[in-house]
Copies of this chain bind each other. A is one copy, B any other.
Amino acid sequence: MVKVGIIGGTGYTGSELLRLLLRHPQAEVVAITSRAEAGKSVASLFPNLRHHADLTFSDPADEETLAACDVVFSATPNGVAAAHAPKLLARGVRMIDIAADFRLRDIAVWERWYGMSHPCPELVAEAVYGLPEIHREQIRTARLVANPGCYPTAVQLGFLPVVEAGLADPGSLVASAVSGLSGAGRGAHVPMLFCETAESVRAYNVSGHRHRPEIAQGLSMMAGQALDLVFVPHVAPLIRGMHATLTLRLVRTDLDIQALYEARYRDEPFVDVLPAGAHPDTRMMRGTNGCHIALHQPLPDRLVILVAIDNLTKGASGQAIQNFNLMFGFSEELGLSDIALFP
């Protein structure tokens, strides 16, 4: 059994992490921290964990508890994981950061988008970007994994095969994505109240969203050249689910794009290329680590890629477990075999 610690377990990614880890056959959660809730039982905060979790929140200042773990997941606001990382790594603890501290290679870009000095720039180069479909081998041996954001997961998995193959007109990439509201976290903010979000669709941060540089970094790496995109995030009234609609112009129209995608993802346990003509539905991914992709060519040289994931699972905590499995030599699907709740 791997001894697991969690920093910041009171938000939605934290509770999703708990849900998955508590039933994972090779993980034992030995510590979970929360400054605000220290001393309270986890089940008192999350009644769905009654009789599943015999855990109490501890103070994150108590470093010894975390240092005794084999791995620590950080599900905290940006900047916190980076403050913990040097000490934990020095003590031999591996780390998976579900926030954004180690996702961007370029520290100046990170500091501009996240509005603070990077607390730990010296570890950025070592951190492995935890998208297993691209970086599987590096993840296996990583000390520090930067778990991707939800939008970057959906958008990169959608673009990957066609961009990798050099088939996309570099100036044509558009990603319009819709997220469930759990993506905004559990903070008490008026715009996230039921009465402000039900019966509502709206875009946000269209002039600039923190996930754009993360996506652009990934696309550039895939393409072997600098690549940018228009990225428009939206929210709609659902709890979980993320749907990305990607559009691009193909530089060649004589290839079988469906076959290209099926080949690229044939051995991936979680990415499923649907039959031609299909339309993925976010609810079919609910609570699972899966990713449904479907392809359309409404005009001969235009490709539309539809991607559905659960923003809290494949888009956050499920992918963190997938990375955990890789890091500790387990089957990549261990503890991630849930069937989506339908209806």
Q: Which residues of A are in contact with B by a Cβ distance under 8 Å?
A: 12, 15, 19, 22-23, 46-52, 171-172, 174, 176, 178, 180-182, 186-190, 192-204, 206-208, 212, 228, 230-232, 234, 236-241, 243, 245, 247, 249, 272, 274, 277, 279-288, 292, 296-299, 302, 304, 306, 308, 312, 337-343
Contact = CB atoms under 8 A, between A and B. Distances in A.
B287 A341 contact: yes
A339 B49 contact: yes
22 contacts: A19-B341, A47-B281, A48-B284, A49-B339, A172-B172, A176-B176, A176-B232, A176-B247, A178-B236, A181-B194, A188-B189, A188-B193, A193-B194, A198-B238, A200-B238, A200-B281, A201-B236, A202-B279, A230-B302, A236-B236, A236-B237, A240-B341
A226 to B, nearest CB: 13
Nearest to A272: B50
Contacts of A241: 199-201
A192 B189 contact: no
Contacts of A280: 47, 202
A287 B287 CA distance: 11
A-B interface, 7 closest residue pairs, ranked by CB to CB distance from nearest: A48-B340, A236-B236, A195-B343, A176-B176, A206-B296, A201-B243, A202-B281
B194 A243 contact: no
A272 B22 CA distance: 19
A304 B206 contact: yes
B186 A298 contact: no
Given A204-B279, A281-B200, A298-B206, A47 B292 contact: yes
A203 B204 CA distance: 20
Contacts of A298: 206-208, 212, 230-232
A12 B343 contact: yes
Contacts of A172: 172
A282 B247 contact: no
A309 B23 CA distance: 21
Most buried by B among A22, A193, A234: A193
A22 B341 CA distance: 13
A173 to B, nearest CB: 10
Contacts of A188: 188-190, 193
Contacts of A274: 47
Given A238-B236, A239-B198, A342 B186 contact: no
Contacts of A195: 12, 181-182, 186, 192, 239, 343
A15 B46 CA distance: 27
Contacts of A207: 277, 296-298
Q: Which of A51, A174, A188, A206 has the most CB of B within 10 A?
A: A206
B206 A279 contact: yes
A152 to B, nearest CB: 16
Given A203-B306, A236-B236, A342 B19 contact: yes
B47 A284 contact: yes
A230 B304 contact: yes
Contacts of A302: 230
B339 A206 contact: no
A290 B114 CA distance: 37
Contact of A178 (B12, B201, B340): B201
A237 B198 contact: yes
